[in-house]
Amino acid sequence: MRSTAPSRPPRAVIFGVAGTELLAEERAFFSEVEPLGFILFQRNCRDADQIRRLVSDLRETVGRPDAPVLIDQEGGRVQRLKPPHWRAAPPAARFGAVFSVDPDRAIAAARLNGRLIAQELSDLGITVNCAPVLDVPVPGAHDVIGDRAFGTDISPVMALGRAFAEGLRAGGVLPIWKHIPGHGRARVDSHRELPRVDADTASLSDTDFTPFREIAANGHSQLGWAMTAHIVYADVDPDRPATLSPTVIDQVIRGAIDFQGVLVTDDVCMDALTGDFADRAAASLAAGCDIVLHCSGRLEEMQAVARGTRRVSEPTQLRLARAAAALPKPSAFDVAGGEADLERLIAA
């Protein structure tokens, strides 16, 4: 294994991998490029022992046993770990439905669900979850968010998103708030094309930005990461999506919302972005993102992304260290009891 005390910061990028085992060319590439971390998808997940080996091998390539390993485990239709090996976690909207009847019970359920997911992830060595979704869908929006949101009103989104993240953190897993500054008005799927939101900034501030601003105002932005939205907010920057816009990042995300944590891009493979992968990566870092996320596992794309990235900056190092230092040490947790309690809480 390589030295666990690298002499220089890692590269400001997180990469996916092709399959369930590392290929020789992937090992060589990661060892040379030294990405900050990695992300897993369903294609990488066969069973628990296999995932543990893959996670260990990934970290070995960069010589950092604490290298972040990410996954999307929201629940519902977005979960990479699926039955029969893992629990089918409810979608966020299920908790929103309970909230409409009994907010306290819904909050307890969301927190417990986050804790259960954290236990599943930490048992595999996965340390960062790309959740919760803090988007507030509006009528007519594309269903790419849909039941991934905790509700269509601000109150359940804020309360349940915060509770879910608290459960993740209690289990030793960092949350990623997404998709900042808000994906709820998008009328097309940003995986396939670039959404454009024409609402004025005042309206966005009163709705879309509010859950993220509340998280930041209560100190939670220091306790996790946030993922950008590949969306043009025309009243702020008519030409560039948030991921690539210095104006949106400076004035809205770091400014009006006051998010001061780690800012990671949504997947730069998505068709909302165009152009060479090196240019996409370089533009997102130049705009103010801390970390580039590339998920496809295609080596030729990763090579291009690497050319467009740099080493993690000093401000980003401080943000990463602050989030890691604030993560509590998990206490003992009764998984079977937690699953039974969750079923009881969301049964009605």
DSSP string, 72-105: -EEETTEESS-TTTS--PPPHHHHHHHHTT-HHH
Q: Is 266 a catalytic residue?
A: yes
Q: Is 279 a catalytic residue?
A: no
Q: Which residue type occupies 324?
A: A
Catalytic annotation, pick one of 72, 266, 267, 290:
266
Give the residue from 189, 216, 213, 192 showing the smallest Cα distance to 201: 213
**H/E element holding 233?**
strand 232-233
* Secondary structure of 296-331 in HEC code, one letter for each residue: CCCHHHHHHHHHCCCECCHHHHHHHHHHHHCCCCCC
Q: Please check whether residue 80 is in contact with residue 20, taking contact to mean a CB–CB distance below 8 angstroms.
A: no
Catalytic annotation, pick one of 191, 200, 250, 271:
191
Angle at 195 between CA 163 and CA 301, to 5 degrees: 90
Token code pair at residue 268: 């730069």
Task: Provide the β-strand partners of residue 40.
Answer: 71
Terminal-residue alpha carbon distance, the chain = 52
> Which residues are known catalytic residues?
191, 266
